[in-house]
């Protein structure tokens, strides 16, 4: 025992010295060597099957590890660029021709990617037996015809304009190995088989980290980093602190933080503000009193100071929106058909004999929603409507208007936000008669609206589409069930040593991130 | 002692059973459709219904509870809704992170709380005693998430001494310890105050005992009297308190895991509640409850060994 002459006091001193040493050693961001990118995602991965994916962060991982025909183009303009496709073009309204790059291989010994794999992967989406939530992406699909080893034709039943904006540039064009999937006999969960993309999933530590590494066999355009570490952080404030502490290279921020970050950005960082595709509105359930009376609904439309609500909730970072379709897309509007006119609102309420009205405003329990709700509450009080704000957690909120629940016939007025893809049909689809009691909580059942929605899906002329979707939003205004508030903005922050690959709405494309 | 141990174990089994009933009832009283939340906006009615059937939600509630009860006692907590992985695997993956966090919190509270308690007991009423008394009450009163946020802002964001998020690289124990310092401080700091106050009160009582006076009369050094003869007795009440403390630290761990974006059972349950992932909520809460009961059981048994009067009470 002579060799280890350690007293309790010297042991404690050594521990203290070690602790102090660990605190004074300077820490470095992971990406300082330029080979590792550390980014935040708002949720952990749960399903890696393109056909059954659940969230946007999974989209990004799936696109990176299973080569898609095309991916969205990074930049400020919506577009796409080929990844697995050597060429892809629309031959006529219902035919798309594709040819694959010659040397894309699947891992795990599943050989080269062929047109047979494309046929399998796309038809798997559309197969009713698969019950994919994304079957609608390929709802117009007739079949995929294999011409030879690398080329084929995608045949549609009818013209489908969103194909190039919201189907092909999503994981709906990711190609899986037919042989691997048939051997698996089930959907892919968190263990990918037969990967083929620019990156490979190297490691998944649940709730902690997902690591993508360059695919050594990928012979085409390379991603910008050797490794991408994806850290799931749900709370944007936590992610912002993580960025400021040097633990992240890129993160989305909360809208509320944008003014603070822009006025005082952390050292060596760039703050971005991108237009969002989301839309936020006040909805009124027309099947429940008092909103079964159109004049009461119109009174609410006139009672709400939309600019006041948006300025308060988003600290001036967002502007007022005039519909469900974001600027830049066909159907985007400059105005609504109702204005802020409290006197008119009071007149309408008086005309209907609606005195001492009391309503419940349901919202999601988020700070910006509560702030907006408080302004709405004040606006309604100003015209004589008493409004109680009811906050709901996300699990409760998203089922409030469901016909399967027991609250839809009590739901009166609510603050709602939907996100969308860059095609107006993605916004309008939720308000069709089929969606009554599903996502159409206003319960507006308008056949003309449905007909226009169907017409828009097959119309490729920008001007005509613009007209169709503006008319549809006009019908929404007429119903009195909607007060459109904003399209929000997307905030992001990144190190000045990287150049983020982002879609025009700020959503990330991991494989498009580069060193600055 | 055997009789005492069997009685304590029986009581623990009853408590776990009651907790399972309460847990099941509470989860199913929460509004919201787990199938709709899990599958998202694009799922059809048929898909949602199929998931409800898969989760057993189409069955009468008493059958659901009976299945849950029987399966849980057999160690089968079911499969997670979204990824279809066994709940037991998912929970056991996260449990070590929470245990490490609580152990770290305990180390902070013991390493600081006991010496501070002794120090103030030696000079009661002095300036040090008063300052530490105020600080102790202060850290007891401040919620752990406030401590977490300020610790993060000071040591991670401003000074950049310690990391702000994550649990460190797996396989790199030093990195994991460094990632543990701030979250465990947030979890354990409140208990520093508790322990300091408890040890101080206990020490003051013991220092008045006859055997301590006798030791002083024999001229033994004050340091020896304090740390060998007084502290070893005064520390006994903290054994039981630590069992309770672990329960409270488990709840504090939720905040620390969210603020520091650490994996762990607390965050797992929080996320699972938001997504109405019933099997995961019930499995994770059940495992945590069993852990808490087991720790308290051990604490009770230890006290039973040390104090025969306790054994005769049950």
The whole-angstrom distance between B32's CA and the closest CA on chain A is: 4
The whole-angstrom distance between A392's CA and the closest CA on chain B is: 10
Confidence (pLDDT) at A2: 41
Which residues in chain B have their CB less than 8 angstroms from residue A231's CB? 165-166, 261
Cβ–Cβ below 8 Å for B36 and A399: yes
Q: How many CA atoms lie within 13 A of A142 on its CB side?
A: 13
Q: What are phi and psi of A376, to 5 degrees?
A: -60, -40
What angle (nearest 5°) sits at the alpha carbon of residue B256, between those of residues A236 and A58? Answer: 45
Residue of B nearest to A45 (CA): B83
Q: What percent of chain B has pLDDT over 90?
A: 33
Cα–Cα nearest to B94, from A208, A390, A251? A208
Tell me what the mean pLDDT of segment B147-164 comes to. 92
Q: How confident is the model at residue A413 (pLDDT cuts 50, 70, 90)?
A: very high
The whole-angstrom distance between A343's CA and the closest CA on chain B is: 39
Tell me what the mean pLDDT of segment A429-453 comes to. 95
Positive or negative, the CA dihedral A243, A247, A248, A254 is negative
Which residues in chain A have their CB less than 8 angstroms from residue B40's CB? 54, 133
Summarize pLDDT for B283-294 with one digit per residue, the tens. 898 898 888 888
Q: Which residue has the tokens 């799931």?
A: A232
Which pairs with CB-CB distance under 8 Å and at least 24 residues apart come from B224-230?
B226/B118, B226/B122, B227/B118, B230/B203, B230/B206
CA distance between the termini of chain A: 58
Contact status, residue B57 vs residue A148, Cβ threshold 8 Å: no
Q: Is the peptide bond before A328 cis (omega within 30 degrees of 0)?
A: no
Q: What is the distance between the alpha carbons of residues B133 and A105, in angstroms, rounded to a whole number?
A: 68
Cβ-Cβ pairs closer than 8 A, A with B, add up to 136
Contact status, residue A46 vs residue B82, Cβ threshold 8 Å: yes
- CA–chain centroid gap for A86, Å, is 28
Mutate to test the interface with B, among A162, A207, A251, A403 (most CBs of B within 10 A): A207
CA distances from A25 to A14, A48, A109, B151, B184 (A): 17, 39, 45, 18, 20
Q: At what angle do helices B278-306 and B2-29 cross, to 10 degrees?
A: 160
Helix (H, G, I), strand (E, B) or coil at A57: helix
Helix (H, G, I), strand (E, B) or coil at A504: coil
Q: What is the distance between the alpha carbons of residues A325 and A276, in angstroms, rounded to a whole number?
A: 10
Give me the interface pTM, i.e. the ipTM.
0.78
Cβ–Cβ below 8 Å for B261 and A189: no
Cβ–Cβ below 8 Å for A232 and B261: yes
Summarize pLDDT for A3-41 with one digit per residue, the tens. 444 454 454 455 454 444 444 444 444 444 459 999 999
Residue of A nearest to B41 (CA): A439
Which tokens in the block code for residue A74? 């990074």
Q: What is the distance between the alpha carbons of residues B106 and B188, in angstroms, rounded to a whole number?
A: 6
Cβ–Cβ below 8 Å for B261 and A233: yes
Residue A301: is its pLDDT beyond 90? yes
Cβ–Cβ below 8 Å for B85 and A189: yes
Summarize pLDDT for B43-81 with one digit per residue, the tens. 777 778 888 888 888 888 888 888 888 888 888 888 887
Of B42, B156, B260, the CB nearest to A133: B42
Burial of A12 (0-12, 13-18, 19+ CB in 10 A): exposed
Q: Please give the model's pTM, rounded to 2 decimal places.
A: 0.82
Residue of A nearest to B277 (CA): A395
Lowest mean pLDDT segment, chosen from A43-52, A288-297, B1-10? B1-10
Residue B60: which H helix or E strand, with range? Answer: none
Contact status, residue B299 vs residue B284, Cβ threshold 8 Å: no
Tell me what the mean pLDDT of segment A335-350 comes to. 96
Q: How confident is the model at residue B311 (pLDDT cuts 50, 70, 90)?
A: low
Cβ–Cβ below 8 Å for B31 and A241: no
Residue B262: which H helix or E strand, with range? Answer: none
For chain A, give the mean pLDDT. 91
Enumerate the H helices of B208-263 as residue ranges: 210-217, 222-224, 231-234, 236-259
Confidence (pLDDT) at B309: 66
Which residues in chain A have their CB less than 8 angstroms from residue B82's CB? 46-47, 54
Q: How many CA atoms lie within 13 A of B247 on its CB side?
A: 13
Confidence (pLDDT) at B232: 83
- CA–chain centroid gap for A289, Å, is 33
Contact status, residue B204 vs residue B268, Cβ threshold 8 Å: no
Contact status, residue B160 vs residue B80, Cβ threshold 8 Å: no
Superfamily of domain B96-263: MetI-like (1.10.3720.10)
Q: What is the distance between the alpha carbons of residues B246 and B244, in angstroms, rounded to a whole number?
A: 5
Which residues in chain A have their CB less than 8 angstroms from residue B182's CB? none
What's the CA dihedral at A363, A369, A372, A374 to 10 degrees? 60
Residue B176: is its pLDDT beyond 50? yes
Q: What are phi and psi of B176, to 5 degrees?
A: -65, -40
Residue A322: is its pLDDT beyond 70? yes
Summarize pLDDT for A240-251 with one digit per residue, the tens. 999 999 999 999
Q: Which residue has the tokens 């945590």?
A: B288
CA distance between the termini of chain B: 11
Q: How many CA atoms lie within 13 A of A347 on its CB side?
A: 5
Which residues in chain B have their CB less than 8 angstroms from residue A248's CB? 165
What angle (nearest 5°) sits at the alpha carbon of residue A249, between those of residues A244 and A251? Answer: 75
Residue A203: which H helix or E strand, with range? Answer: strand A199-205
Residue A113: is its pLDDT beyond 80? yes
Contact status, residue B251 vs residue B293, Cβ threshold 8 Å: no
Tell me what the mean pLDDT of segment B123-133 comes to. 89
Of B31, B45, B152, the CB nearest to A241: B152
Lowest mean pLDDT segment, chosen from A66-70, A122-126, A306-310, B68-72? B68-72
Cβ–Cβ below 8 Å for B274 and A394: yes
Tell me what the mean pLDDT of segment B231-243 comes to. 80
Looking at chain A, how many residues does it have? 516
Cβ–Cβ below 8 Å for A238 and B260: yes
Tell me what the mean pLDDT of segment A324-330 comes to. 93
Cβ–Cβ below 8 Å for B160 and A134: no
Q: What is the distance between the alpha carbons of residues A238 and B152, in angstroms, rounded to a whole number?
A: 10
């Amino acid at each position: 025992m002579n060799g280890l002459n350690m007293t309790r006091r010297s042991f404690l001193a050594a521990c203290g010295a070690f602790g102090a040493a660990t605190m004074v050693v300077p820490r470095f961001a992971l990406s300082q060597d330029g080979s590792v990118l550390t980014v935040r995602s708002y949720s952990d991965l749960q399903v890696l099957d393109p056909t059954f994916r659940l969230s946007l962060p999974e989209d990004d991982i799936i696109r990176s590890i299973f080569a898609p025909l095309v991916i969205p183009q990074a930049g400020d303009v919506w577009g796409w660029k080929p990844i697995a496709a050597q060429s892809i073009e629309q031959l006529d309204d219902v035919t798309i021709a594709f040819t694959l790059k010659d040397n894309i291989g699947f891992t795990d010994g599943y050989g080269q990617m062929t047109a047979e794999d494309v046929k399998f992967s796309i038809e798997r989406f559309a197969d009713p037996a698969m019950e994919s939530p994304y079957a609608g992406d390929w709802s117009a699909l007739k079949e995929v015809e294999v011409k030879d080893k690398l080329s084929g034709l995608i045949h549609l039943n009818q013209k489908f304009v969103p194909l190039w904006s919201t189907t092909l540039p999503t994981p709906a064009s990711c190609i899986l190995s037919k042989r691997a999937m048939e051997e698996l006999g089930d959907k892919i969960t968190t263990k990918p088989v037969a990967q083929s993309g620019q990156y490979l999933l190297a490691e998944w530590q649940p709730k902690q980290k997902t690591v993508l590494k360059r695919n050594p066999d990928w012979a085409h355009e390379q991603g910008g980093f050797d490794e991408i570490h994806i850290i799931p952080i749900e709370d944007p404030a936590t992610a912002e602190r993580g960025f400021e502490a040097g633990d992240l290279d890129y993160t989305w921020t909360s809208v509320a933080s944008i003014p603070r970050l822009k006025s005082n950005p952390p050292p060596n960082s760039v703050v971005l503000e991108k237009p969002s595709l989301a839309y936020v509105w006040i909805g009124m359930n027309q099947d429940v009193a008092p909103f079964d009376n159109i004049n009461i609904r119109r009174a609410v439309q006139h009672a709400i100071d939309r600019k006041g609500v948006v300025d308060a909730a988003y600290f001036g970072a967002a502007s007022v929106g005039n519909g469900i379709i974001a600027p830049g897309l066909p159907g985007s509007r400059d105005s609504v058909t109702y204005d802020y006119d409290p006197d008119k609102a009071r007149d309408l309420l008086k005309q209907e004999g609606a005195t001492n009205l009391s309503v419940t405003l349901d919202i999601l329990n988020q700070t910006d929603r509560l702030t907006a709700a408080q302004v709405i509450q004040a606006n309604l009080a100003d015209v004589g409507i008493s409004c109680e704000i009811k906050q709901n957690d996300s699990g409760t909120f998203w089922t409030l208007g469901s016909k399967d629940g027991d609250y839809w016939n009590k739901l009166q007025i609510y603050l709602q936000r939907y996100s969308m893809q860059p095609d107006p049909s993605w916004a309008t689809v939720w308000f069709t008669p089929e969606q009554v009691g599903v996502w159409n909580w206003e319960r507006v059942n308008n056949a003309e609206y449905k007909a226009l929605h169907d017409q828009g899906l097959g119309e490729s002329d920008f001007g005509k589409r613009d007209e169709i979707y503006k008319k549809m939003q006009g019908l929404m205004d007429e119903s009195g069930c909607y007060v459109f508030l904003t399209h929000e903005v997307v905030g992001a922050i990144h190190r000045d040593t990287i150049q983020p690959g982002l879609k025009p709405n700020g959503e990330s494309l991991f494989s498009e991130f580069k060193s600055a | 002692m055997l009789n005492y141990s069997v009685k304590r174990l029986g009581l623990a089994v009853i408590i776990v059973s009651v907790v399972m009933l309460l847990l099941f009832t509470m989860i199913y009283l929460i509004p919201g459709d787990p199938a709709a939340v899990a599958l998202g906006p694009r799922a059809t009615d048929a898909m949602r219904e199929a998931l409800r059937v898969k989760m057993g939600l189409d069955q009468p509630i008493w059958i659901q509870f009976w299945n849950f009860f029987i399966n849980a006692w057999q160690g089968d907590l079911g499969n997670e809704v979204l990824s279809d992985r066994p709940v037991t695997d998912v929970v056991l993956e996260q449990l070590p992170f929470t245990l490490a966090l609580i152990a770290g919190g305990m180390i902070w509270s013991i390493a600081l709380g006991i010496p501070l308690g002794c120090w103030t007991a030696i000079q009661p009423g002095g300036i040090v005693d008063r300052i530490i008394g105020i600080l102790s009450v202060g850290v007891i009163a401040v919620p752990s998430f406030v401590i977490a946020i300020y610790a993060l802002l000071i040591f991670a964001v401003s000074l950049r001494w310690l990391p702000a998020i994550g649990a460190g690289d797996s396989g790199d124990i030093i990195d994991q310890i460094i990632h543990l310092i701030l979250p465990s401080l947030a979890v354990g700091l409140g208990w520093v105050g508790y322990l300091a106050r408890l040890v101080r009160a206990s020490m003051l009582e013991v220092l008045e005992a006859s055997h301590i006076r006798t030791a002083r009369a024999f001229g033994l050094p004050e340091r020896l009297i304090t740390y060998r003869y007084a502290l070893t007795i005064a520390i006994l009440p903290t054994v039981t308190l630590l069992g309770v403390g672990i329960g409270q630290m488990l709840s504090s761990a939720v905040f620390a895991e969210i603020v520091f974006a650490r994996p762990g059972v607390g965050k797992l349950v929080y996320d699972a509640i938001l997504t109405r992932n019933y099997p995961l909520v019930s499995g994770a809460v059940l495992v945590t409850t069993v852990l808490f009961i087991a720790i308290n059981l051990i604490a009770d048994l230890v006290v039973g060994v040390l104090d025969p009067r306790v054994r005769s009470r049950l």
